[in-house]
A and B are shown apart, each in its own frame.
Chain A
Amino acid sequence: MSLLDVQGLVKHFPIKSGLLNRQTATVRAVDGVSFAIAAGETLGVVGESGCGKSTTARLIMHLIEHDAGNIAFDGKTVGSQHMQLKELRRQMQMVFQDSYASLNPRLTIEESIAFGPQVHGLGRTEARARARDLLARVGLNPAQFIRRYPHELSGGQRQRVNIARALALEPKLVILDESVSALDKSVQAQVLNLLADLKQEFKLTYMFISHDLNVVQYISDRVMVMYLGRIAEIGPVGEIYSNPRHPYTRALLSAMPSVDPDDRTEAPPLTGDPPNPINPPSGCRFRTRCEHAEAVCKQKEPVLNMIGTGHSAACHMMNAGSGHSKIIPIAVAA
C-alpha cells in the first residue's frame, strides 16, 4: 500500500482586482494531479518554475487548502476522524529551499529544533535532548551548535539544521522542496549523501522537489515531471532518463548540460517561457511549445496513459486512438 495517495488534486488561486475586489481571473496552479508514493521510496518532482511543484507540496502538507481532490496518508483520508491534521503534521514534514528564512533568527538552533516536539507534548528537557541527538545525526557537533543563532551558520549548516528540525517529529514522509538548490555543489553533494543516509536510518520516504535534473536522477527512485499544474510524465527514474516519452520530458533532458564536448547541446531545445497558468492553452498544455503539436492537441486534453511498468505519460502520441499522426508504438515498454 502506498504511504501517500493523491487523487485529482486541484488548487486554483483567484486573482482579485478592481474597486470591489472581484475575482477577475484564476491561476490554475495545480489542476488535477494524481500520484502515489510508496513507503520507503523517493519520488523526484521536476518541472520549470511555476509548474505547480511547490504548490503541490504545500497542498500535501495542508499549508494551503486544496479546492478539490483527495489526499490519503497511510490509507487514511487526511482531515477525516482517522487522521487529524495535527497527527498528519507529525508524520509529514517539510524542508524548505531558503535555509535562512526557514529558521527563526531570534531562536537558537536548539530551540528551533526542539519547537516541534514541544508542540506535540514532549517536555522541554526531552525535546532539547532530542535536538542534540539529531544535530549529531546530521553531522553538526551539538556542543558547538546548540546555543548558536542561524545567522552565524553557513548555508549548508543551516540546511542540516532544517533537516534535523524536520526529523525531530519522527515523520514518515519528508517533503524536500528545492532543499539543496540554494547550496553550492560540494555542499549539495554532502547534504544529498546525508539525506540518503538518514533515509535508511529512519526508514523515511521522500518527496524530492527540484529543478536540477542531475540531483533528481541521483536521489530518486521514481520521477514525476510536471508542466503547468499537470503531470506530463511519471515513471521509474531509469525509464524516465533513458527512455523519456513525453516531448516535454525529452526537451528537459536534452537541456541537461553535458560535460562531454562531443555531446554538446547545439540548439536550445525549448524556447520561451511556459504559457501563463492564468489562461493555459486548450487541449494539451504543452502544445504551444511542442514540435509535434497537431490539431488534436488543441482539441483534446491528453490523459495519463500507462506506457510501461509504472510509467505513464500524458501525450496523444502515446495513445493509439487519439488521432495524432505520429503515434509512437508502446511496444518497447515491457
Chain B
Amino acid sequence: MSAPLASAAAAVFTEPPPVVVSRGYWATVFARVLRDKVTVFCALVLICMLLMAIFAPWIAPKDPTATSMLKRLALIGSEGYLLGTDELGRDMLSRLIYGARLSLFIGIVPVINAFLIGTLLGVLAGFLGGRVNTVIMRTIDVFFAFPSVLLAIAISGALGAGIFNSIVSLTIVFIPPITRVAESVTTQVRGLDFVEAARASGANALTIIRVHILGNVLGPVFIYATSLMSVCMILASGLSFLGLGTKPPAAEWGLMLNTLRTAIYTNPWVAALPGVMIFTTSICFNMMSDGLRQAMDIKE
C-alpha cells in the first residue's frame, strides 16, 4: 500500500467509529411503524378482527344460523341478545363474528391474488419495455375503461353467484391498478445507475430482476395493495348485497346489510351494524396502509 492511500485510509479509520448498528430496511420500517400510534391501533383492530374470524366458533355466544320467529328484530341490549337479532331472529353478535370470516376472506384473498399476478405483469412490462410493455399495458387500459364496481358486477354476473366466482371477479378487477403501479415503479427503478451497474457486471435479466428490481418494487406495490383491501371489502360486500356474492343463510356483512335493509325503519341500529363493521375494517386497512407508506418513506 503506497503512502497517499495509507494516509487516506488512516483519515477514514481515525474517524470515531459509528456505533449505529445497521438494521435492515424492513427492521427500520417496523421500528418506525411502532412509533406511529394510529397505525399501531388500526393494526391491532385488524388483528382482533382476524382473531375473531379464526376463533368464531369459540367466541360466538349462539349459533349464527339458528332462527327464532318469536324474537325477530330484537333491539340492541335485549336479554340474551347483546346486539339484538335480525329479521329471522338470529343473534346479531354471533352473525357479525361469523361474518368476519367470509368478509375478510373475500376482502383479502382477491387482493393477494391480484398482488401476485399484477406485480409479475407490471415488473415484466416495466423491465422489458418496448413491445411487451405496449401489449401488457394497453390490455390493462381496456379494463380501466370500466368503473371497478361495474366490472366486478359484470364478471360476477357472467360467472354466476358464489364465493369462488366473486373472488375471481374481484381479482380481475384489482389486477389492472396493481399492474400499473408495479410497472411505473419498475420503470423508475430500471433507470437507476445500480441497475446499469448490474448490467455492466454481466448479470442477466432474471438475476437483475431478482436481486435489484424486486426488492425495490415490492414495497411500494405492497402498500398500494393494502390500500386496496378496503375497496375490495366494500366491493365484495356490494356483490353480496346484490346477490352475486355469498348466498343466504351464510353470514357475511354485505349480505346481512342487504337482508336487514327492510328493517331499517323498525330497528335502524341493528340494521346498521354490518355497515359499521365494514366501515371499521376498511378504514383500518386504509389508515394502516397510510402509516406503512410513511414508515417506508425513509429519506436519509
Contacts and interface: CB of A to CB of B under 8 A. Distances in A.
A90 B202 contact: yes
Interface stretch (A94-102, A211-219, A321-329): A94-102
A197 B207 CA distance: 33
B13 A104 contact: no
A35 interface: no
Contact of B200 (A94, A98, A141, A151): A94
Interface string B117-133: 00000000000000000
Interface in B58-79: none
Given A98-B193, A119-B202, A105 B5 contact: no
The size class of the interface chain B forms with chain A is: 20 to 34
B5 A63 contact: no
Interface string B188-218: 0000111011111111000100011001100
A152 B207 CA distance: 26
Contacts of A116: 201-203
Q: Secondary structure at chain B's binding surface: helix, strand, loop or mixed?
A: helix
Interface in A246-277: none
Given A63-B199, A98-B193, A196-B4, A107 B12 contact: no
Contacts of B300: 151
A115 B8 contact: no
B265 interface: no
Contact of A103 (B8, B194, B203): B194
B145 interface: no
B202 A106 contact: no
A38 to B, nearest CB: 22
Contacts of A152: 18, 20, 22
A139 B5 contact: yes
Interface of B: 1-2, 4-5, 8-9, 11-13, 17-18, 20, 22, 24-25, 192-194, 196-203, 207, 211-212, 215-216, 298, 300
Which 9 A-B residue pairings sit nearest by Cβ, starting from the closest?
A116-B201, A102-B193, A89-B202, A106-B215, A139-B9, A197-B5, A193-B4, A86-B202, A96-B193
10 contacts: A63-B196, A98-B193, A102-B193, A102-B197, A104-B194, A104-B198, A104-B212, A119-B207, A139-B8, A194-B8
